[in-house]
Amino acid sequence: MKNVILQGDALTKLKELPEKSINMCMTSPPYWALRDYGTANWEGGDEKCDHKIPDGEKDPKNKNNTSHNVRFIRDVCYKCGAKRIDKQLGLEPTFEQYISNLCDIFDGVKRVLRDDGTCWVNLGDTYNAGRNGGHAGGKIAFGKIENNLEAYPKQSGVNVEGMSAKCLTMIPQRFAIEMINRGWILRNTIIWHKPNCMPCSAKDRFTVDFEYVFLFSKKKKYYFEQQLEKTITKDSNVRDRDTTKLNNTPGRTRMGGLTKNDYDLKNKRTVWRICPKPFKEAHFAVYPEELCETPIKAGCPEFVCKKCGMPKILEIEYSGGTIGKGWHDHSNDMKEGMLQSVGGLDSQGEQPYKREIKGYKPTCNCNAGFTGGIVLDPFFGAGTTGLVALKQNKNYIGIELNPEYIEIAEKRLKPFREQTSLNLNKENSNGK
Protein backbone atom coordinates (compact mmCIF):
# COMPACT_ATOMS: atom_id res chain seq x y z
CA MET A 1 0.00 0.00 0.00
CA LYS A 2 1.42 3.34 -1.05
CA ASN A 3 0.39 6.73 -2.43
CA VAL A 4 -3.07 6.50 -0.89
CA ILE A 5 -5.10 8.56 1.57
CA LEU A 6 -7.05 6.62 4.20
CA GLN A 7 -10.22 8.36 5.34
CA GLY A 8 -10.85 8.09 9.07
CA ASP A 9 -9.33 8.92 12.43
CA ALA A 10 -5.62 8.29 12.78
CA LEU A 11 -5.83 5.98 15.81
CA THR A 12 -8.16 3.57 13.98
CA LYS A 13 -6.57 3.70 10.54
CA LEU A 14 -3.04 3.12 11.84
CA LYS A 15 -4.20 -0.33 12.97
CA GLU A 16 -4.82 -1.23 9.31
CA LEU A 17 -1.16 -0.72 8.36
CA PRO A 18 1.34 -3.58 8.61
CA GLU A 19 3.86 -3.52 11.44
CA LYS A 20 7.27 -2.02 10.59
CA SER A 21 6.21 -1.07 7.06
CA ILE A 22 6.89 2.70 7.12
CA ASN A 23 10.28 4.38 6.63
CA MET A 24 9.49 7.69 8.30
CA CYS A 25 6.67 9.85 9.64
CA MET A 26 6.38 13.58 8.96
CA THR A 27 3.34 15.38 10.31
CA SER A 28 1.80 18.37 12.01
CA PRO A 29 -1.09 17.36 14.29
CA PRO A 30 -3.92 19.71 15.28
CA TYR A 31 -2.64 22.13 17.90
CA TRP A 32 -4.48 22.15 21.20
CA ALA A 33 -7.42 24.53 21.58
CA LEU A 34 -6.67 26.64 18.53
CA ARG A 35 -8.83 25.47 15.64
CA ASP A 36 -11.92 23.46 14.82
CA TYR A 37 -11.29 21.38 11.68
CA GLY A 38 -14.97 20.78 11.03
CA THR A 39 -15.04 17.06 11.83
CA ALA A 40 -17.53 17.18 14.71
CA ASN A 41 -20.44 14.77 15.09
CA TRP A 42 -23.94 16.19 15.55
CA GLU A 43 -27.03 14.84 17.28
CA GLY A 44 -30.61 15.75 16.39
CA GLY A 45 -31.72 18.50 14.03
CA ASP A 46 -31.79 18.06 10.26
CA GLU A 47 -29.52 15.26 9.05
CA LYS A 48 -29.15 17.04 5.70
CA CYS A 49 -27.85 20.24 7.32
CA ASP A 50 -24.09 20.89 7.02
CA HIS A 51 -24.13 22.91 10.28
CA LYS A 52 -21.94 25.56 8.67
CA ILE A 53 -22.39 29.28 8.30
CA PRO A 54 -21.67 30.20 4.67
CA ASP A 55 -18.93 32.73 3.98
CA GLY A 56 -20.27 36.27 4.27
CA GLU A 57 -23.46 35.26 6.09
CA LYS A 58 -23.96 36.67 9.56
CA ASP A 59 -24.64 34.53 12.56
CA PRO A 60 -27.91 35.90 14.00
CA LYS A 61 -26.45 35.51 17.50
CA ASN A 62 -23.21 37.29 16.63
CA LYS A 63 -23.95 40.28 14.38
CA ASN A 64 -20.34 41.46 14.16
CA ASN A 65 -18.87 38.30 12.70
CA THR A 66 -19.34 37.29 9.07
CA SER A 67 -16.68 34.57 8.69
CA HIS A 68 -17.46 30.88 8.20
CA ASN A 69 -15.22 30.32 11.24
CA VAL A 70 -18.08 31.51 13.46
CA ARG A 71 -19.25 27.92 13.55
CA PHE A 72 -16.26 27.13 15.75
CA ILE A 73 -17.96 28.73 18.75
CA ARG A 74 -21.30 26.96 18.28
CA ASP A 75 -22.40 23.91 20.30
CA VAL A 76 -25.86 24.10 18.75
CA CYS A 77 -26.38 24.61 15.01
CA TYR A 78 -28.19 27.91 14.55
CA LYS A 79 -29.88 26.61 11.37
CA CYS A 80 -31.36 23.26 12.49
CA GLY A 81 -30.79 23.08 16.24
CA ALA A 82 -28.56 19.98 16.17
CA LYS A 83 -26.33 19.49 19.22
CA ARG A 84 -22.62 19.20 18.62
CA ILE A 85 -20.90 16.08 20.05
CA ASP A 86 -17.23 16.78 19.51
CA LYS A 87 -14.37 14.36 20.12
CA GLN A 88 -11.88 15.64 17.59
CA LEU A 89 -8.22 15.84 18.50
CA GLY A 90 -7.22 19.30 19.70
CA LEU A 91 -10.48 20.29 21.39
CA GLU A 92 -10.06 18.23 24.56
CA PRO A 93 -11.14 20.09 27.72
CA THR A 94 -7.66 19.68 29.29
CA PHE A 95 -4.16 19.62 27.86
CA GLU A 96 -3.50 16.38 29.79
CA GLN A 97 -6.17 14.67 27.72
CA TYR A 98 -4.82 16.20 24.53
CA ILE A 99 -1.25 15.01 25.20
CA SER A 100 -2.47 11.53 26.11
CA ASN A 101 -4.66 11.23 22.99
CA LEU A 102 -1.90 12.57 20.75
CA CYS A 103 0.74 10.21 22.12
CA ASP A 104 -1.66 7.26 21.80
CA ILE A 105 -1.67 8.01 18.06
CA PHE A 106 2.12 8.09 17.99
CA ASP A 107 2.16 4.73 19.77
CA GLY A 108 0.41 3.52 16.62
CA VAL A 109 2.97 5.30 14.47
CA LYS A 110 5.73 3.58 16.40
CA ARG A 111 4.22 0.16 15.66
CA VAL A 112 4.15 0.71 11.88
CA LEU A 113 7.53 2.47 11.73
CA ARG A 114 10.57 0.39 10.82
CA ASP A 115 13.22 0.02 13.51
CA ASP A 116 15.50 2.26 11.44
CA GLY A 117 12.73 4.83 10.98
CA THR A 118 12.33 8.36 12.31
CA CYS A 119 9.37 10.51 13.29
CA TRP A 120 9.25 14.29 12.70
CA VAL A 121 6.53 16.33 14.42
CA ASN A 122 5.75 20.03 13.93
CA LEU A 123 3.88 21.43 16.95
CA GLY A 124 3.07 24.91 18.20
CA ASP A 125 2.12 26.23 21.63
CA THR A 126 -1.07 27.74 23.06
CA TYR A 127 -1.65 30.59 25.50
CA ASN A 128 -3.96 30.09 28.45
CA ALA A 129 -6.34 32.97 27.86
CA GLY A 130 -8.12 32.78 31.20
CA ARG A 131 -11.80 33.47 31.77
CA ASN A 132 -11.78 36.97 30.33
CA GLY A 133 -10.67 36.45 26.76
CA GLY A 134 -7.78 35.68 24.45
CA HIS A 135 -7.46 33.85 21.15
CA ALA A 136 -7.24 30.21 22.22
CA GLY A 137 -9.93 27.67 22.86
CA GLY A 138 -12.78 25.85 21.19
CA LYS A 139 -15.25 28.47 22.43
CA ILE A 140 -13.50 31.42 20.82
CA ALA A 141 -13.21 32.95 17.36
CA PHE A 142 -11.78 36.33 16.40
CA GLY A 143 -11.67 37.61 19.98
CA LYS A 144 -15.30 36.64 20.68
CA ILE A 145 -16.01 34.25 23.53
CA GLU A 146 -19.16 32.61 24.74
CA ASN A 147 -19.72 32.67 28.48
CA ASN A 148 -20.54 28.98 28.65
CA LEU A 149 -17.94 27.88 31.17
CA GLU A 150 -19.79 24.68 32.04
CA ALA A 151 -19.29 23.23 28.55
CA TYR A 152 -15.50 23.43 28.69
CA PRO A 153 -14.65 24.05 32.36
CA LYS A 154 -10.90 23.62 31.89
CA GLN A 155 -10.52 24.54 28.21
CA SER A 156 -7.68 26.86 27.22
CA GLY A 157 -9.35 30.09 26.29
CA VAL A 158 -11.69 29.62 29.23
CA ASN A 159 -9.43 28.57 32.06
CA VAL A 160 -6.68 26.02 32.64
CA GLU A 161 -6.92 24.97 36.24
CA GLY A 162 -3.89 25.99 38.29
CA MET A 163 -2.40 28.15 35.53
CA SER A 164 -2.45 31.92 35.32
CA ALA A 165 -4.16 33.65 32.44
CA LYS A 166 -1.86 34.65 29.55
CA CYS A 167 0.63 31.90 30.41
CA LEU A 168 2.03 29.64 27.71
CA THR A 169 0.75 26.11 28.30
CA MET A 170 4.04 24.50 27.13
CA ILE A 171 2.28 21.97 24.92
CA PRO A 172 5.32 21.10 22.74
CA GLN A 173 7.51 20.44 25.78
CA ARG A 174 4.83 18.35 27.52
CA PHE A 175 4.38 16.36 24.33
CA ALA A 176 8.12 15.72 23.91
CA ILE A 177 8.46 14.56 27.52
CA GLU A 178 5.53 12.16 27.21
CA MET A 179 6.96 10.77 23.96
CA ILE A 180 10.25 10.11 25.75
CA ASN A 181 8.33 8.46 28.59
CA ARG A 182 6.76 6.15 26.01
CA GLY A 183 10.13 5.01 24.68
CA TRP A 184 10.92 7.42 21.86
CA ILE A 185 14.42 8.91 21.55
CA LEU A 186 14.39 12.68 21.07
CA ARG A 187 17.32 13.45 18.76
CA ASN A 188 16.69 17.11 17.87
CA THR A 189 14.51 20.05 18.72
CA ILE A 190 14.38 22.15 15.56
CA ILE A 191 13.24 25.75 15.53
CA TRP A 192 11.10 26.74 12.56
CA HIS A 193 11.75 30.49 12.34
CA LYS A 194 9.03 32.32 10.39
CA PRO A 195 10.34 35.72 9.17
CA ASN A 196 6.91 36.68 7.80
CA CYS A 197 4.91 35.52 10.81
CA MET A 198 1.43 36.81 11.54
CA PRO A 199 1.42 40.22 13.27
CA CYS A 200 0.43 40.30 16.91
CA SER A 201 -1.62 42.96 18.68
CA ALA A 202 -0.15 42.18 22.12
CA LYS A 203 1.98 45.00 23.54
CA ASP A 204 3.16 43.28 26.71
CA ARG A 205 5.18 40.47 25.07
CA PHE A 206 7.23 39.82 21.93
CA THR A 207 5.67 38.51 18.73
CA VAL A 208 6.12 34.75 18.46
CA ASP A 209 7.84 33.96 15.16
CA PHE A 210 8.75 30.30 15.55
CA GLU A 211 7.39 26.80 16.07
CA TYR A 212 9.00 23.50 17.00
CA VAL A 213 9.85 20.45 14.90
CA PHE A 214 10.88 17.41 16.94
CA LEU A 215 12.97 14.58 15.54
CA PHE A 216 12.33 11.24 17.26
CA SER A 217 13.79 7.81 16.53
CA LYS A 218 12.78 4.33 17.69
CA LYS A 219 16.33 3.04 18.09
CA LYS A 220 19.79 4.49 18.69
CA LYS A 221 20.81 3.48 15.18
CA TYR A 222 18.53 4.66 12.39
CA TYR A 223 18.50 5.77 8.76
CA PHE A 224 19.68 9.35 8.41
CA GLU A 225 21.22 10.93 5.34
CA GLN A 226 23.25 13.87 6.56
CA GLN A 227 22.17 17.23 5.19
CA LEU A 228 24.63 20.04 4.56
CA GLU A 229 24.13 23.76 4.15
CA LYS A 230 26.30 26.42 2.63
CA THR A 231 28.53 28.49 4.84
CA ILE A 232 27.75 32.20 4.43
CA THR A 233 30.60 34.52 3.55
CA LYS A 234 30.25 37.92 5.15
CA ASP A 235 31.85 41.28 4.48
CA SER A 236 35.43 41.15 5.74
CA ASN A 237 35.52 44.93 6.01
CA VAL A 238 32.90 44.92 8.73
CA ARG A 239 34.14 44.14 12.21
CA ASP A 240 32.76 40.97 13.84
CA ARG A 241 31.00 39.96 10.61
CA ASP A 242 33.84 38.18 8.81
CA THR A 243 34.08 35.11 11.06
CA THR A 244 31.17 32.98 9.89
CA LYS A 245 33.31 30.55 7.92
CA LEU A 246 36.09 30.35 10.45
CA ASN A 247 33.63 29.60 13.23
CA ASN A 248 32.33 26.56 11.37
CA THR A 249 34.84 24.49 13.33
CA PRO A 250 35.61 26.09 16.71
CA GLY A 251 39.28 26.56 17.42
CA ARG A 252 40.41 25.84 13.88
CA THR A 253 42.08 29.21 13.39
CA ARG A 254 43.73 29.17 16.80
CA MET A 255 45.01 25.59 16.71
CA GLY A 256 45.62 25.24 12.97
CA GLY A 257 47.21 28.63 12.53
CA LEU A 258 44.92 29.37 9.58
CA THR A 259 43.72 32.78 8.55
CA LYS A 260 41.54 31.70 5.63
CA ASN A 261 38.73 29.18 5.50
CA ASP A 262 37.88 28.06 1.97
CA TYR A 263 35.39 25.25 2.49
CA ASP A 264 31.74 25.96 1.81
CA LEU A 265 29.65 23.32 3.58
CA LYS A 266 28.68 22.57 7.15
CA ASN A 267 26.34 20.16 8.89
CA LYS A 268 22.83 21.61 8.79
CA ARG A 269 21.87 23.55 11.93
CA THR A 270 18.64 23.34 13.91
CA VAL A 271 17.22 26.82 13.25
CA TRP A 272 15.42 26.77 9.89
CA ARG A 273 14.36 30.10 8.40
CA ILE A 274 11.29 29.29 6.32
CA CYS A 275 8.46 31.64 5.37
CA PRO A 276 4.91 30.29 5.74
CA LYS A 277 3.05 30.32 2.44
CA PRO A 278 -0.71 30.47 1.91
CA PHE A 279 -2.53 27.70 0.09
CA LYS A 280 -5.57 29.25 -1.55
CA GLU A 281 -7.69 26.09 -1.70
CA ALA A 282 -7.62 25.50 2.06
CA HIS A 283 -9.12 27.72 4.75
CA PHE A 284 -6.94 26.01 7.35
CA ALA A 285 -3.21 26.41 7.96
CA VAL A 286 -0.84 24.24 5.91
CA TYR A 287 2.86 24.04 6.53
CA PRO A 288 5.10 25.03 3.61
CA GLU A 289 6.71 22.41 1.39
CA GLU A 290 10.15 23.65 2.41
CA LEU A 291 9.53 22.65 6.03
CA CYS A 292 9.27 18.96 5.20
CA GLU A 293 11.79 18.86 2.34
CA THR A 294 14.80 18.43 4.64
CA PRO A 295 13.20 15.85 6.98
CA ILE A 296 12.10 13.72 4.03
CA LYS A 297 15.53 14.02 2.38
CA ALA A 298 17.23 13.04 5.63
CA GLY A 299 14.79 10.46 6.97
CA CYS A 300 13.28 8.61 4.01
CA PRO A 301 15.54 6.65 1.63
CA GLU A 302 15.01 7.08 -2.10
CA PHE A 303 15.91 3.43 -2.66
CA VAL A 304 14.61 0.56 -0.52
CA CYS A 305 14.77 -3.12 -1.42
CA LYS A 306 11.45 -4.41 -2.78
CA LYS A 307 11.95 -7.69 -0.93
CA CYS A 308 13.45 -6.94 2.49
CA GLY A 309 12.96 -3.19 2.78
CA MET A 310 16.57 -2.39 3.54
CA PRO A 311 17.69 1.01 2.22
CA LYS A 312 20.55 1.96 -0.01
CA ILE A 313 22.85 4.35 1.82
CA LEU A 314 24.83 7.25 0.45
CA GLU A 315 28.51 6.29 0.25
CA ILE A 316 30.81 9.26 0.79
CA GLU A 317 34.57 9.39 0.93
CA TYR A 318 35.82 12.13 3.21
CA SER A 319 38.85 13.11 5.19
CA GLY A 320 39.46 15.18 8.29
CA GLY A 321 36.21 15.84 10.11
CA THR A 322 32.78 14.36 10.51
CA ILE A 323 30.91 15.07 7.27
CA GLY A 324 29.55 12.28 5.18
CA LYS A 325 28.01 9.26 6.89
CA GLY A 326 24.59 8.32 5.62
CA TRP A 327 24.06 5.66 8.30
CA HIS A 328 25.08 7.32 11.54
CA ASP A 329 26.82 5.11 14.11
CA HIS A 330 26.38 7.14 17.29
CA SER A 331 29.12 5.26 19.14
CA ASN A 332 31.59 7.61 17.43
CA ASP A 333 29.83 10.81 18.48
CA MET A 334 32.35 11.71 21.17
CA LYS A 335 35.41 11.02 19.04
CA GLU A 336 33.99 12.93 16.07
CA GLY A 337 33.03 15.83 18.30
CA MET A 338 36.62 16.01 19.57
CA LEU A 339 37.94 16.04 16.00
CA GLN A 340 35.68 18.93 15.12
CA SER A 341 36.63 20.87 18.24
CA VAL A 342 40.32 20.92 17.25
CA GLY A 343 39.63 21.87 13.68
CA GLY A 344 39.34 18.49 11.95
CA LEU A 345 42.79 18.70 10.26
CA ASP A 346 44.20 15.50 8.80
CA SER A 347 47.68 14.21 9.68
CA GLN A 348 49.31 16.16 6.85
CA GLY A 349 47.67 19.42 7.90
CA GLU A 350 45.68 19.59 4.66
CA GLN A 351 42.28 21.22 4.36
CA PRO A 352 39.59 19.37 6.31
CA TYR A 353 36.28 18.09 5.00
CA LYS A 354 37.41 16.85 1.63
CA ARG A 355 34.23 15.17 0.43
CA GLU A 356 33.52 12.92 -2.54
CA ILE A 357 30.11 11.31 -3.11
CA LYS A 358 30.46 7.76 -4.46
CA GLY A 359 26.74 7.08 -4.87
CA TYR A 360 24.14 4.88 -3.17
CA LYS A 361 25.24 1.48 -1.91
CA PRO A 362 22.84 -1.45 -1.25
CA THR A 363 22.78 -2.88 2.27
CA CYS A 364 21.34 -6.26 1.26
CA ASN A 365 22.00 -8.98 -1.33
CA CYS A 366 18.41 -9.61 -2.41
CA ASN A 367 18.83 -8.35 -6.01
CA ALA A 368 15.10 -7.74 -6.08
CA GLY A 369 15.18 -4.15 -7.29
CA PHE A 370 14.44 -0.97 -5.43
CA THR A 371 11.57 1.44 -4.91
CA GLY A 372 11.12 4.69 -3.02
CA GLY A 373 10.65 4.65 0.74
CA ILE A 374 7.29 5.45 2.34
CA VAL A 375 6.51 8.62 4.29
CA LEU A 376 3.51 8.50 6.64
CA ASP A 377 1.43 11.54 7.61
CA PRO A 378 -1.42 10.65 10.00
CA PHE A 379 -2.80 14.22 9.81
CA PHE A 380 -2.62 14.61 6.05
CA GLY A 381 -4.67 17.79 5.57
CA ALA A 382 -3.98 19.31 2.14
CA GLY A 383 -1.29 16.72 1.37
CA THR A 384 1.92 18.77 1.57
CA THR A 385 3.87 15.81 2.98
CA GLY A 386 2.76 13.56 0.13
CA LEU A 387 3.56 16.22 -2.45
CA VAL A 388 7.14 16.60 -1.24
CA ALA A 389 7.57 12.81 -1.05
CA LEU A 390 6.52 12.44 -4.69
CA LYS A 391 8.83 15.25 -5.77
CA GLN A 392 11.72 13.34 -4.15
CA ASN A 393 10.79 10.06 -5.92
CA LYS A 394 9.42 8.61 -2.70
CA ASN A 395 5.98 7.39 -1.66
CA TYR A 396 3.41 8.43 0.93
CA ILE A 397 0.51 7.15 2.99
CA GLY A 398 -1.85 9.77 4.38
CA ILE A 399 -4.57 9.53 6.98
CA GLU A 400 -7.22 12.24 7.11
CA LEU A 401 -10.53 12.46 8.93
CA ASN A 402 -12.16 15.21 6.87
CA PRO A 403 -13.34 14.10 3.38
CA GLU A 404 -13.24 17.73 2.16
CA TYR A 405 -9.51 17.89 2.86
CA ILE A 406 -8.98 14.55 1.11
CA GLU A 407 -10.64 15.97 -1.99
CA ILE A 408 -8.29 18.98 -1.87
CA ALA A 409 -5.23 16.75 -1.38
CA GLU A 410 -6.18 14.32 -4.15
CA LYS A 411 -6.62 17.15 -6.63
CA ARG A 412 -3.26 18.58 -5.61
CA LEU A 413 -1.39 15.27 -5.76
CA LYS A 414 -2.90 13.72 -8.89
CA PRO A 415 -0.56 15.29 -11.52
CA PHE A 416 2.54 14.47 -9.48
CA ARG A 417 1.38 10.92 -8.81
CA GLU A 418 0.74 10.38 -12.52
CA GLN A 419 4.20 11.72 -13.37
CA THR A 420 5.79 9.42 -10.79
CA SER A 421 3.98 6.44 -12.31
CA LEU A 422 5.10 7.49 -15.80
CA ASN A 423 8.75 7.71 -14.71
CA LEU A 424 8.52 4.28 -13.07
CA ASN A 425 7.14 2.74 -16.27
CA LYS A 426 10.01 4.27 -18.26
CA GLU A 427 12.55 2.82 -15.83
CA ASN A 428 10.94 -0.64 -16.04
CA SER A 429 10.93 -0.51 -19.86
CA ASN A 430 14.65 0.32 -19.78
CA GLY A 431 15.35 -2.66 -17.58
CA LYS A 432 16.33 -0.73 -14.48
The full DSSP string for 311-350 is BPEEEEEEESSSTT-SB--GGGHHHHHHHHHTT---TT--
Q: Which pLDDT score is estimated for 49? A: 84
The answer to whether residue 368 is domain-embedded is no
Phi/psi zone of residue 170: left (φ > 0), alpha (ψ -120 to 50 degrees), beta?
left
Residue 79 to residue 77: CA distance in whole angstroms = 5
Predicted confidence (pLDDT) at residue 274 exceeds the cutoff of 80: yes
Q: pLDDT class for 432, splitting at 50, 70, 90?
A: very low
pLDDT exceeds 60 at position 89: yes
Q: For residues 171-177, give the mean pLDDT.
A: 97
Among 328, 361, 394, identify where a domain stops.
361
Q: Which of 51, 85, 119 is the last residue of a domain?
A: 85
- The answer as to whether 250 is a domain residue is yes
Sign of the Cα pseudo-torsion (419, 288, 196, 227, in order): negative
Task: Summarize the confidence of residues 57-62 as an average pLDDT.
Answer: 51
The arithmetic mean of pLDDT across residues 150-157, rounded, is 38
Q: Looking at the predicted structure, is the pLDDT value of residue 150 above 60?
A: no
Q: What is the mean pLDDT of residues 267-276?
A: 94
65 versus 37: which is more confidently predicted?
37
Distance CA 106, CA 89 (A): 13
Residue with the bigger pLDDT between 300 and 66: it is 300
CB atoms within 10 A of CB 37: 19
Q: Given this model, what pLDDT does residue 379 score?
A: 96
Q: Which of 330, 361, 392 is the endpoint of a domain? A: 361
State residue 355's pLDDT score.
65
At 45, is the pLDDT very low, low, confident or very high (cuts 50, 70, 90)?
A: confident
Q: Is the residue at 248 inside a domain?
A: yes
Res 335: pLDDT: 38
The pLDDT of residue 75 is 67
pLDDT at 394 over 90: yes
Which residue, 195, 187, 368, is CA-closest to 273? 195
Residue 321 within any structural domain of the chain: yes
In a domain, 372, yes or no: no
pLDDT of 250: 47
421 falls in which pLDDT band (50, 70, 90)? low
**294 compared with 155, residue with greater pLDDT:** 294
| 298 pLDDT higher than 90 | yes
Instruction: Determine the pLDDT at residue 319.
Output: 57
User: Which residues lie closer than 8 Å to 268 by C-beta, 6 or more apart?
Assistant: 226, 227, 228, 229, 294
**Angular region, 130: left φ>0, alpha ψ -120 to 50, beta rest:** left
| Domain coverage including residue 67 | 41-85
* Least confident interval from 210-224, 235-249, 352-366, 377-391: 235-249
Q: What is the pLDDT of residue 424?
A: 55
Q: What is the pLDDT of residue 54?
A: 57
Task: Establish if 249 belongs to a structural domain.
Answer: yes
Q: What pLDDT sits at residue 286?
A: 80
401-415 mean pLDDT:
92
pTM attached to this predicted model: 0.75
What H or E segment, with its residue span, contains residue 4?
strand 4-7
Give me the number of domains the chain comprises: 2
Sign of CA pseudo-dihedral 148, 102, 386, 14: negative
Helices marked H in 123-257 — which ranges?
171-181, 252-256
pLDDT of residue 246: 41
* Residue 386 counted as domain residue: no
Contact (CB, 8 A) for 372 and 302: yes
More confident residue, 124 or 64: 124
333 inside domain:
yes
206 or 348: whose pLDDT is higher? 206
